[in-house]
Chains A and B, each alone.
Chain A
Amino acid sequence: MSVVLVFLAVVIGFSFWWLFHQKVMEKPWLEHGVRTALPETDVSGMPTAKVALAVFLAVVGSLFALFASAYFMRMDYADWQAPPLPRILWVNTAILILASVALSCAVRAARERRREITRLALVTAALATFVFLAGQVTAWRELAAGGHYLDVNPANGFFYLMTGVHGLHILGGLVALGRTIVKAWDDGVAAEQLRLGVELCAAYWHFLLLVWLGVFVLLAGWAGDLLALCRQILT
């Protein structure tokens, strides 16, 4: 459970830091008058949707940290046999990075109010993401063709499960991205509003890229080696 504990330590640490900046040392019984809650806090300028996305990403992070914890704990049992890593995963990783980069460009273009480039970047990101998903399905088929079915070994089970859950999150993101693209083509939508949508999509994509890199490291087996190394050093 160490992975999820490390993740939680980060989340709890951040929460305490935030709380500390909310003046939890105040003595509310000694004060009166209007204390403006919003301008005095760090989150004041932040749109509500961004705060909500941050909270949601913490939940998603917790989910994947728990999968990783389960992966490490299950891995120690004798029957564990990792399937070969499909080569195409490298290509998929590169494509997902491309999607993330495209969304970064979209954010920049949206901030500079260049509608045309924003549209182009958004569509590129969406296409790259579709290619990524297709690539993931190809990886599944490759594994299945090699006889590495879901129920043959728990390592295979984790492979399908984690890539599947990650893919579902990407699919959900594509719905939001699709709505943002529609907005980008609608000239009635204000530049500010579009910018917010693009920024939210970009943040989500960067986070899911990070999660994918973590999952990739796990599935490639490097995480196990790293862990073994750590244990060797500690004992």
Chain B
Amino acid sequence: MVDATPRMERDIPPAEVPELELYHPKSWWTTYVFSQDAKVIAIQYSGTAVAIGLVALVLSWLMRLQLGFPGTFSFITPEAYYQFITMHGMIMVIYLLTALFLGGFGNYLIPLMVGARDMVFPYVNMLSFWVYLLAVLVLVASFFVPGGPTGAGWTLYPPQAILGGTPGGQSWGIILMLVSLILFIIGFTMGGLNYAVTVIQGRTRGMTLMRMPLTVWGIFTATVMALLAFPALFVACVMMLFDRVLGTSFFMPALVEMGEQLSYGGGSPILFQHLFWFFGHPEVYIVALPAFGIVSDLISTHARKNIFGYRMMVWAIVIIGALSFIVWAHHMYVSGMHPWFGFFFATTTLIIAVPTAIKVYNWVLTLWRGDIHLTLPMLFALAFIVTFVNGGLTGLFLGNVVVDVPLSDTMFVVAHFHMVMGVAPIMVIFGAIYHWYPKITGRMLEDWMGKFHFWVTFVGAYAIFFPMHYVGLVGVPRRYPEIGEAAFMTAPVGNLNAFISVAALVVGFAQMVFLFNLVWSLRFGKEAGPNPWRATSLEWQTPITPPPHGNWGDERPVVYRWAYDYSVPGAPEDFIPQNDPWPEKAAARPA
């Protein structure tokens, strides 16, 4: 072993730094509502994200009802169907997944895992949540304005997004959507600055970058990517808002609508696509990298084994982050771009599969000969690995131009991206909630409800999305509310569609069990104690559970080792917490 203790004691900064003095909330309002405690902000972010996510879940039910039983539900008009699609996609990707991973898990876990008392700028952090909430409210408001929300599809492609033929295009829908996105980006930038700078500057003594848990690495890298990528969406939204409200022609070509020449002329819809996907592709990894990080920690903890290839995992996260900025045009193979462009982007797309595959191998090798405990977090982690491999493999198909062009407009693509960036990250979110709920509340989630939730969700998600690949391969196009008579719309395809819809309803209802469990266990769950999973990372070593504002009591922890010392030969227990100086001397453990 290398002894990394510095020679002189004076090299160690004091545990008590004046700026990090505990912030004492004075009243109920500043404790629970306008709180500057990252952990309260995390709960606020997560609660808002889950609430708006439930709206998106109901929208997906409505869409599936229409697709599975076309013509049965008269209130689902084609316009309404497009509005459901748009809002479902936008909410799930941005207002649920991004907000939950970075605003929720980022806020809760970064300060605890790096041994900080709070984020470096708590006030800005609080503002970040309130701006996010405002963005969500503006989005919700678009459901209640005349004309309803926009139905432009979650990509909001011009010119159709701001024309009269698209729901919300010439009414308030699209304006509120764009304003909401702009607000979200402003709010996220405030939070993102905090997450990134806390990791750079807020680490406790001994917490070198290479001793951070992979969860922090994933969230940190995703935050940096989001800070650089969201401006692209910002630019696209502002320019489209100008086109819609002020009549500029950034994106709008010359158009004749209903026999009437519009005042637009000469604009480039492709320009919007470039800007959108320059944000949109990194967004996939903004959601995936925190999931990668969290799942690494879940697997290591619940298999009682150190993570295989920690350095390789860190490098892979960073390299994926960098590469993800040069693959965006693989979303635009059918936009008529130069063949050499397609060749370039197909190549980069396939290259990014290499670091991703390294991560999958390392997860599997961590499991190999591990002491696997099939706890709820582990079940969800395993479900993530298989789902991610499934979705990733169809991604290799679609990454090639010649395969993508015929498949691009079919349900195959829908099945692919739901597997890889819908189901897979959601599995990690569930696993993470089952894993950290005891720290957040001090109580365990009820096991049998969790098992029920897991099996219905896991099997149900496959019942939804596996058949969807076949539906797509036989040629059923996406984005159509009703297909009617077509050569590929045979009876079996219709039956499959109905089956998928029923499965979607069942999986949706299983989430109600999960929500009930969250509330029920708050009161009646088993007492968890400070470290129920016997985990090594710092958040489990807080003196009080759930940790109060300031996290660490009188003194911040000192870190002596990396986060993955499980089953170390000769150690008294099968895990050694990061703040345990073993073998030098015994550490005081939280009671």
Contacts and interface: CB of A to CB of B under 8 A. Distances in A.
A70 B306 CA distance: 47
B227 A29 contact: no
Given A26-B210, A63-B234, A74-B250, A52 B11 contact: no
A62 B2 contact: no
Contact of A79 (B6, B239, B265, B322): B265
Contacts of A79: 249, 265-266
Nearest to B254: A79
Nearest to B278: A1
A145 interface: no
Given A22-B209, A32-B561, A55-B196, A62 B228 contact: yes
Contact of B267 (A29, A67, A154): A154
A46 B266 CA distance: 49
A117 to B, nearest CB: 28
B494 interface: no
Given A26-B208, A32-B1, A58 B193 contact: no
Contacts of A73: 268, 271, 274
A33 B246 contact: no
A23 B209 contact: yes
Counting chain A residues whose Cβ lies within 8 A of the other chain, the interface size class is: 35 or more
Interface string A125-166: 000000000000000000000000011001001000100010
A133 B325 CA distance: 35
Contacts of A15: 224
B562 A34 contact: no
B565 to A, nearest CB: 8
A36 B228 contact: no
A16 B209 CA distance: 13
Given A1-B274, A34-B560, A79-B266, A70 B209 contact: no
B206 A34 contact: yes
Interface stretch (A3-11, A89-97, A100-108, A214-222): A3-11
A62 B231 contact: yes
A55 B561 CA distance: 29
B2 A30 contact: yes
A37 B278 contact: no
B361 interface: no
Contacts of B275: 66, 69-70
Given A29-B562, A77-B266, A52 B193 contact: yes
Interface string B229-243: 001101100110010
B206 to A, nearest CB: 4
A51 B198 CA distance: 10
A88 interface: no
A78 interface: yes
A154 B249 contact: yes
Contacts of B246: 150-151, 157
A19 interface: yes
B315 interface: yes
A148 B209 CA distance: 53
A25 B314 CA distance: 10
Contacts of A48: 19, 120, 197, 201-202
B211 interface: yes
Contacts of B2: 27, 30-32
B572 interface: no
A39 B13 contact: yes
Interface string B266-307: 111001001100100000000000000000000000000010
Main secondary structure of the interface of A (DSSP, over half): helix
A112 B381 CA distance: 58
A35 interface: yes
B459 interface: no
Given A22-B208, A55-B193, A154-B250, A33 B5 contact: yes
A59 interface: yes
B428 interface: no
Contacts of B248: 150-151, 154, 157
Contacts of B224: 15
Contacts of B3: 31-33
Max count, chain A CB within 10 A of own CB: residue among B3, B200, B203, B306: B200
A58 B228 contact: yes
A56 interface: yes
A229 interface: no
Nearest to B306: A29
B236 to A, nearest CB: 8
A28 interface: yes
Interface string A35-68: 1111110010010100110011011001100110
Given A1-B278, A63-B231, A34 B242 contact: no
A5 B203 CA distance: 31
A31 B266 contact: no
Contacts of B458: none
A23 B120 contact: no
Contacts of B232: 4, 62, 66
Interface string B217-230: 00000001001100
Contacts of B210: 22-24, 26, 28
Contacts of A62: 227-228, 231-232
A43 B189 contact: no
A27 B242 contact: no
A23 B11 CA distance: 18
A11 B227 CA distance: 12
A12 B246 CA distance: 36
A23 B238 contact: no
B311 A36 contact: no
Contacts of B559: 34-35
13 contacts: A5-B325, A8-B228, A23-B208, A36-B6, A36-B12, A39-B11, A51-B197, A51-B201, A52-B193, A79-B266, A150-B248, A151-B263, A161-B238
Interface of B: 1-6, 11-13, 19, 120-121, 189, 193, 196-197, 200-211, 224, 227-228, 231-232, 234-235, 238-239, 242, 246-250, 263, 265-268, 271, 274-275, 278, 306, 310-311, 314-315, 318, 322, 325-326, 558-562, 564-565, 581
Given A37-B208, A70-B235, A77-B266, 4 more contacts: A36-B12, A36-B206, A59-B189, A74-B268
